[in-house]
Structure 1
């Protein structure tokens, strides 16, 4: 059976590209560059699938076409502005899939094949997969349009409306709590509390009291009944960060609370039913922790009903300029002036691996904003660890001379003078950086230079008077 696909995009070149891709696989393709043309095509004949851009540069959008066509065939939406809010809106309204531009051919073809298979199931009378119903979209705090982030957005949109426990995995600094908050915001529980708990920040006795609460007299300082954070999260979401650091005895109590949906305050005779959705996160490999006997296997399976992986920054380098600009806008509010990047600065940022991920990038941008001499963020405003390594100064000492810097037995003052001169040369005379390297403030640097007879330049490279 020949499949007929309707492609809708205000860019004629994009329409032709998709026509070529789909025609090469034996599918018939019709194209439309306006919502009106798309509706007219749909009125004239039946289609097995519609694939449309969201932004059609018209009063109607791809979301409007989704509403018009979704009852008749699967609809795939494409956008050049891949955000969590866009993914949620698309999947909430019944889109079969959501794809971000620039897309990969294999990705689009796979999505089309999946949607057409769904159409076949519907023809055979089998129940098709239900379209997810997601709550209202709002700001998530997540930034990125890379394929890895769009895939994560779609997973968040699909899991948010459910009651499933979610395990969020990712390296430190990748934004696991932002993912948890996004799930909460887009869930039916968004009107309830979001309660974060760092499982690695408290010793076991305090953690148990914090999580489950206590009754008066449960221990010496328990002078009154107190609800735990689990109860505080009633009708909302409890976020258990660093779950991999949870001691084994607490893992048993957490497992019971998850299984039974109830908690018992310390010293209480009876448990209490609590309606809570749990999202856990860790930077540890929990399967390895289970194998090593440091994490309970039954708890792992209970937590990992749905597992989301947050990509490290090095795996989504295309998002770095977007993230850097977002953090720069935040930093500009802190310093009280408009800031912008010199192109070379973004080049330096892109060359760095950022082992601390998004959190480290944010710290780097804040540092640069505070050290910038004007409204432009230049490479020299970045922390020293991002600075290009300067070529070493060639050894000009006579052949055969002793390379030992102490060979001439210099005085302590002379050693200080030589080192200060070396540091100033290494940082191109930048006084602020020299002070940072030496571990002193600028005033101490001035006194040191005056005492040792070393001439300082200002931060523009000019000799100080």
Structure 2
């Protein structure tokens, strides 16, 4: 697991025991420290960890004092207290001072794993809430999995941070957005930033699955299940065990198959075709769709229980037209195989202006296709307007010819403008204005008074 953990205990032998248990659970970034004063000083100097396991009885600085020092300098660090004394008063004091849990030695690996899982889930939820409140742009702690996603959009950068926070958990994630916005790329990044990164990432186009293929493809089948000659097949679930299964275009999955998928999501069990034995599977599910699933639920085209099962975390990718600041960055990225993009001469200003103005109904995928076509026509020369597909110019011309739609104003503003216009036409004669408008004189006076007109 990618979370950082510090364990503080003056008993070096017990430190080593906890270190082995944490490694067994799957934590790789663990620090063992027997000096409570030293770690308190490091927190005061800006050091931070995701999780701290703190022994209560220590010389020089006891665990309760260390807990206070950690929470005052790094509020986002979650703390679990560990002690040989099972005393309710001390447990309550620790919880009141910011600890999330309280464990009594000796701590079984299973109990430690469960406590840490609950604690880190709380941290993830608090970090998500904090992300919504902050004005400044968040930074990624694990940048490498997200490098293929090219962006400087503030909206997308926040989504990437949310994705990183979801990655460390086991909750399923639903990614929504128009076709071509990069949903699979984001799903791969979540997998790469997760504890499952060393295991398979399997993308499946749910629209391509038919009733006859679903069970064979998902569950696999035993030898001879269909004919005496077949040797059996490993399904997606078995192949991806411990990894991430990416269910692309899940909104296109036929309704009868949604129930079969739901059972796997709920139970984590399945049976191969031709076998009655149940197999256990450990998977992370990420689903994606360009459909409005809530609307589909209302139309009885998508199961509500499946929707809430796959929507543990929800990430919505904006269309390219809402992140225009990324168009030039993406253009550089897609053309770097063909040009020296550090030299501004690889695309002419007029062509770039057209690309910046175009609305991209096909989003990033369409931009890539447009640039590939332009490269073929340019033959190594700088890309010009004439190298771009004709439909871009036609689309922009159509937009320019369409009359501008006047924005809808609030009714109160329309009423105010109408009353003041009538008042001016009657040379500010209140009686005539009231008759002209068909309202009472006192009503007109109240309206004019609210507008600041005496």
Instruction: Normalising by structure 2, report the TM-score.
Output: 0.56
Secondary structure of the residue aligned to 2:178 is coil
- Counterpart among 281, 284, 290 of residue 283 in structure 1: 290
- Counterpart among 208, 212, 237 of residue 205 in structure 1: 212
| Distance in 1, Cα, partners of 2:379 & 2:229 | 54
Once the two structures are superposed, the pairs formed by residues 216-295 of structure 1 within 5 Å of their partners are: 216-220=223-227, 223-295=230-302
- Counterpart among 324, 336, 351 of residue 345 in structure 1: 351
Secondary structure of the residue aligned to 1:250 is helix
1:339 shift after superposition: 7.3
| Residues 274 and 386 (structure 1), Cα distance of their counterparts in 2 relative to 1, 3 Å cut | same
| Distance in 1, Cα, partners of 2:173 & 2:279 | 23
Deviations 1:378-420 (A, max 9, x none): 111111112368999xxxxxxxxxxxxxxxxxxxxxxxxxxxx
1:222 shift after superposition: 7.1
| Distance in 2, Cα, partners of 1:70 & 1:376 | 57
- Counterpart among 198, 207, 214 of residue 221 in structure 2: 214
Secondary structure of the residue aligned to 2:123 is coil
1:193 shift after superposition: 0.5
| Distance in 1, Cα, partners of 2:257 & 2:344 | 49
| Distance in 2, Cα, partners of 1:254 & 1:176 | 21
Please state which structure has a larger fraction of its residues in helix. 2
| Distance in 1, Cα, partners of 2:195 & 2:396 | 55
| Distance in 2, Cα, partners of 1:247 & 1:289 | 12
Number of residue pairs matched?
284
Structure 1: runs of 5 or more not aligned: 1-42, 51-68, 76-90, 95-121, 393-465
1:124 shift after superposition: 6.7
1:266 shift after superposition: 1.5
Find out whether 1:301 has 2:294 as its counterpart.
Answer: no
| Distance in 2, Cα, partners of 1:294 & 1:249 | 10
1:264 shift after superposition: 1.3
Find out whether 1:184 has 2:191 as its counterpart.
Answer: yes
CA contact (8 A) 1:174 1:311 kept: yes
CA contact (8 A) 2:358 2:395 kept: no
| Distance in 1, Cα, partners of 2:334 & 2:95 | 50
CA contact (8 A) 1:140 1:181 kept: no
| Distance in 2, Cα, partners of 1:124 & 1:293 | 48
1:201 shift after superposition: 1.5
Find out whether 1:168 has 2:175 as its counterpart.
Answer: yes
1:330 shift after superposition: 3.6
1:374 shift after superposition: 3.7
| Distance in 2, Cα, partners of 1:125 & 1:71 | 8
| Distance in 1, Cα, partners of 2:229 & 2:247 | 24
1:270 shift after superposition: 1.3
- Counterpart among 295, 307, 313 of residue 320 in structure 2: 313
Once the two structures are superposed, the pairs formed by residues 43-442 of structure 1 within 5 Å of their partners are: 73=73, 125-127=97-99, 130=123, 137-138=144-145, 140-220=147-227, 223-332=230-339, 340-387=346-393
Secondary structure of the residue aligned to 1:249 is helix
When structure 1 is superposed on structure 2, of 284-293 and 208-217 the one drifting more is 208-217
Cα RMSD of the aligned pairs, angstroms, is: 3.5
| Residues 331 and 295 (structure 1), Cα distance of their counterparts in 2 relative to 1, 3 Å cut | farther
| Distance in 2, Cα, partners of 1:354 & 1:275 | 39
CA contact (8 A) 2:202 2:240 kept: yes
CA contact (8 A) 2:209 2:253 kept: no
| Residues 163 and 389 (structure 1), Cα distance of their counterparts in 2 relative to 1, 3 Å cut | closer
1:204 shift after superposition: 2.0
| Distance in 1, Cα, partners of 2:228 & 2:279 | 23
| Residues 216 and 143 (structure 1), Cα distance of their counterparts in 2 relative to 1, 3 Å cut | same
Deviations 1:269-289 (A, max 9, x none): 112001111101111011111
Deviations 1:249-305 (A, max 9, x none): 211111110111112111211120011111011110111111111111111100001
1:47 shift after superposition: 11
| Distance in 2, Cα, partners of 1:329 & 1:255 | 43
| Residues 221 and 123 (structure 1), Cα distance of their counterparts in 2 relative to 1, 3 Å cut | closer
CA contact (8 A) 2:225 2:273 kept: yes
| Distance in 1, Cα, partners of 2:397 & 2:176 | 40
CA contact (8 A) 1:175 1:358 kept: yes
| Distance in 2, Cα, partners of 1:341 & 1:372 | 10
Structure 2: runs of 5 or more not aligned: 1-40, 49-68, 78-93, 101-121, 128-139, 399-454
1:221 shift after superposition: 8.0
| Distance in 2, Cα, partners of 1:272 & 1:178 | 30
| Residues 250 and 123 (structure 1), Cα distance of their counterparts in 2 relative to 1, 3 Å cut | closer
| Distance in 2, Cα, partners of 1:220 & 1:176 | 39
Tell me what 1:406 maps to: none
1:138 shift after superposition: 3.8
